Amino acid sequence: MVDYVNSTPLSARPGFGEVIGLGDGLHTWYGTDLDELVRRLSEPPADATARTGQAEVYKQVLSLLLAQRRPSHYLLDGRDSLRALTDDHLRLLAEAGVIDAGLRDAALALPLVFRERPPAPAPASFVARKALNAMRAHLTSLLRLKSFYELDRLDMEVEATLDTAAQDAVTEGLRRMMDTKGAKEAGLYGERLLTGDPAGVVYSITLFERTPTANLVRVQADNMERPLDLNEGGKFDLGSTAKLRTLTTYLEIVAELHGRYAADNKAQLKAVAEDAPDPLTRWAVDYLARSADRSLGAMVDAAMQRKYSASAGETFFTGRGNHSFANFDKRHNGPMPVAEALRHSVNLVFIRMMRDIVKYYQADGPDSVKDLLSDPAHPARRAYLERFADMEGKVFLDQFYKRYAKLDPDASLSLLASRSRPVPHRLAVVFRSVRPAAPVAAFGRFLAARLPETHLSDTQVQTLYDKYGPDSFNLHDRGYIARLHPLELWLVAYLQTHPGAGRGEVV
Residue 56's nearest CA partner among 116, 108, 115, 118 is 108
Type of residue numbered 46: A
Q: How far apart are CA 172 and CA 205, in angstroms?
A: 12
- Please report, for the chain, the start and end positions of each structural domain, with discontinuous segments joined by +: 2-108, 127-233, 239-363, 382-506
Residue 51's nearest CA partner among 89, 102, 113 is 102
Model pLDDT, residue 419: 86
**Per-residue CA distances from 379 to 369, 374, 392 (Å):** 12, 12, 22
Q: How far apart are CA 349 and CA 311, in angstroms?
A: 8
Model pLDDT, residue 116: 83
Model pLDDT, residue 302: 96
Model pLDDT, residue 357: 94
Model pLDDT, residue 319: 62
CB neighbours of 227 closer than 8 A, spacing ≥ 6? 126, 133
Helices 266-275 & 239-261, crossing angle to 10 degrees?
Answer: 130
What pairs with residue 18 in β-bridges? Answer: 12
User: Would the CA dihedral through 401, 402, 403, 409 be positive or negative?
Assistant: positive
Residues of the chain with pLDDT under 50: none
pTM for this predicted structure = 0.42
Model pLDDT, residue 288: 95
Q: How far apart are CA 486 and CA 478, in angstroms?
A: 7
Q: Residue 26 has what DSSP assignment?
A: I
Model pLDDT, residue 312: 85
